[in-house]
């Protein structure tokens, strides 16, 4: 017979075992409970009302239904003389509650707690094309990469008066096809871009020599309006030509000027020099370009590296006393891996780089979709708003929820979670893979946040809405996760923001109930 004490011990172990596995099941739903709670905790729902939406437009996405869904209409209002803040804190929630949607059952949904349109202040709305006829841009690439770049250049170059010269090859062994070059140039022109596509100045030119020769090509093409020539890469992106011109206007172009940005990686700065890194954009005033042009042969034939931007620096430092004027808003982006912390930083973004597929960072972004919101409110792209339910919108990139109350709240809000360590949103979240020194560039930084602290919904798509294409719809998405073998997979989540300017009406997709 088994002694009584062993029997009691066995029963106790059995109880502990059952409790442990039961808790696994509960904990699997605990995260979802927290994510749901940030929608309603501390929010003011007295203005909510029933509404219906027709979601037939979601069908092409082929989501795994059912999904959790919520949307909000936003009206962008231009506030005169309002500068863009790193983050704007609002004493109201972004959403009321999620709705479970299954398009297999119905494309029409009803929600009992829809909030009225949200008004957000922005610096500018519907900015007409900026006159950038004082700038000539130049890049060198392959004909294939240039063809893929059309949709990206179309976001900032058309109808500005700026010119762009593109030196192209098929590959290092073969020249680009002449017919293809002509056809591609016509495509640029049809889209309102003044682009000239050309073969290398010399067939034998190396990568660095082709890049360096752009300075002479652009300088020879100058006219009475030209003040700046700018070397870029095929994945250099200028989010706001208005902001770029405002920055350039601060400088006296009658002086020799060398404007650019250092790499974010201090090792690269130490290794290559205090130079303008090419992907961020290198701006040369005409007097500066003249120095390079006059010494082009000497500089081109005495290369110390295979990098064209280094050759530009070497030529300037060798034949003038001019030094780099560092522009922090121009970004080389020499980090690798997950760059969400950088894009969610609220920092000034005069240029972006290394976001294209196949880039050195390995962090592909669909910039043409992200940047579409700029059609409505220009520099509101990547602008941040913090809401009372611990949610941050980084416009065009992500929506982040902090369900445990890690965000500082204004003093007039009661529901500020006590005893929870708060996040310094002025510091950049260190999400990238590299262990690099960014003290001179991206700092201050903070540690990467665990998913238990921060839940991220990334931009999936954006499109114009309404017949006159005046509004922008953004679709943010998070794939449901399976936390463990013992828990069910979470369902996917779709969050939609419908943006319009003041005095415009929303489409019939969304209407009061």
From first to last of its 513 residues, the chain has per-residue pLDDT tens of 445 544 555 555 454 444 444 444 444 444 434 444 444 333 444 466 678 888 999 999 999 889 999 999 999 998 877 778 889 999 899 988 888 899 888 888 887 778 889 999 998 887 778 999 999 999 999 999 999 999 999 999 999 999 999 999 999 889 999 999 999 999 999 999 999 999 999 999 899 999 999 999 999 999 999 999 999 999 999 999 999 999 999 999 999 999 999 999 999 999 998 999 999 999 999 999 999 999 999 998 888 888 989 999 999 999 999 999 999 999 999 988 899 999 999 999 999 999 887 555 556 789 999 999 999 988 899 999 999 888 999 999 999 998 877 776 665 444 555 667 788 899 999 999 888 999 999 999 999 998 889 999 999 999 998 766 679 999 999 988 766 566 677 889 999 999 998 766 655 454 433
Domains of the chain: which residue ranges?
Answer: 49-124+371-501, 135-332
Query: What is the full DSSP assignment across 143-199?
Result: HHHHHHHHHHHTTTSTTS--EEEEEEESSSSSPPPHHHHHHHHHHHHHTT-EEEEE-
- Can you point out the beta strands (E) in 274-397? 282-285, 325-326, 384-387, 391-394
The answer, yes or no, to whether the previous bond of 444 is cis (omega within 30 of 0) is yes
d(CA 436, CA 339): 14
The token duo for 141 is 């690439």
CA 312, distance to chain mean position in Å, is 29
- H or E stretch including 215? helix 207-220
Q: Rounded to two decimals, what is the model's pTM?
A: 0.85
Integer Cα distance of 201 and 481 in angstroms: 54
- CATH number at 135-332: 3.90.550.50
Q: Are 95 and 141 in contact (CB under 8 A)?
A: no
As a whole number of angstroms, the distance between CA 466 and CA 57 comes to 13
Identify the three-state secondary structure at position 20.
Answer: helix
- For residue 107, whether the previous peptide bond is cis, meaning omega lies within 30 degrees of 0, is no
Helices then strands, counting H and E runs in the chain, come out as 12, 22
């Amino acid at each position: 017979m088994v002694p009584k004490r062993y029997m009691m011990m066995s029963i106790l172990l059995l109880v502990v075992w059952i409790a442990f596995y039961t808790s696994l099941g509960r904990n699997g739903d605990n995260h979802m409970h927290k994510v749901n709670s940030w929608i309603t905790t501390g929010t003011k729902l007295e203005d909510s009302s029933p509404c219906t939406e027709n979601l037939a437009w979601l069908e092409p996405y082929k989501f795994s239904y059912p999904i959790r869904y919520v949307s909000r209409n936003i009206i962008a209002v231009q506030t005169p003389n309002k500068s863009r803040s790193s983050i704007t804190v609002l004493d109201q929630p972004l959403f009321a509650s999620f709705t479970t949607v299954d398009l297999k059952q119905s494309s029409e949904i009803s929600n009992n707690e829809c909030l009225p349109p949200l008004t957000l202040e922005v610096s500018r709305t519907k900015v007409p094309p900026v006159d950038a006829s004082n700038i000539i841009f130049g890049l060198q690439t392959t004909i294939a990469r240039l063809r893929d770049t059309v949709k990206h250049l179309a976001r900032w170059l058309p109808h500005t008066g700026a010119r762009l010269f593109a030196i192209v090859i098929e590959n290092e062994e073969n020249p680009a096809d002449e017919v293809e070059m002509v056809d591609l140039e016509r495509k640029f022109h049809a889209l309102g871009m003044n682009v000239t596509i050309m073969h290398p100045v010399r067939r034998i030119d190396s990568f660095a020599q082709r890049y360096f020769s752009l300075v002479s090509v652009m300088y020879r093409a100058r006219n009475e309006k030209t003040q700046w020539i700018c070397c870029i890469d095929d994945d250099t992106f200028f989010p706001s030509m208005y902001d770029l011109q405002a920055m350039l206007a601060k400088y006296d172009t009658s002086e020799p000027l060398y404007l650019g940005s250092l790499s974010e990686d201090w090792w690269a700065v130490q290794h290559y020099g205090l130079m303008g890194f090419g992907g961020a954009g290198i701006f040369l005033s005409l007097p500066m370009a003249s120095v390079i042009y006059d010494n082009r042969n000497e500089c081109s034939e005495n290369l110390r590296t295979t990098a064209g931007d280094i050759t530009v620096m070497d030529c300037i430092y060798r034949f003038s006393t001019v030094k780099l004027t560092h522009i922090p808003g121009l970004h080389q982006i020499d980090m690798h891996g997950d760059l969400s912390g950088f894009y969610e930083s609220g920092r000034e973004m005069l240029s972006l780089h290394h976001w294209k597929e196949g880039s050195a960072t390995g962090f592909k972004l669909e910039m043409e979709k992200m940047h579409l919101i700029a059609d409505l409110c220009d520099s509101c792209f990547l602008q941040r708003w913090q809401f009372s339910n611990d949610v941050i919108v980084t416009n065009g990139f992500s929506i982040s929820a902090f369900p445990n109350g890690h965000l500082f709240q204004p003093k007039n809000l009661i529901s500020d979670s006590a005893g929870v360590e708060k996040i310094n949103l002025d510091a950049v979240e260190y999400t990238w893979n590299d262990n690099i020194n960014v003290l001179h560039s991206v700092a201050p930084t903070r540690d990467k946040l665990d998913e238990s602290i921060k839940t991220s919904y990334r931009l999936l798509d954006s499109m114009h809405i309404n017949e006159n294409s005046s509004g922008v719809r953004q679709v943010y998405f998070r794939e449901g996760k399976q936390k463990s073998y013992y828990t069910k997979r979470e369902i996917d989540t779709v969050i939609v923001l419908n943006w319009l300017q003041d005095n415009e009406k929303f489409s019939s997709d969304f209407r009061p109930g």
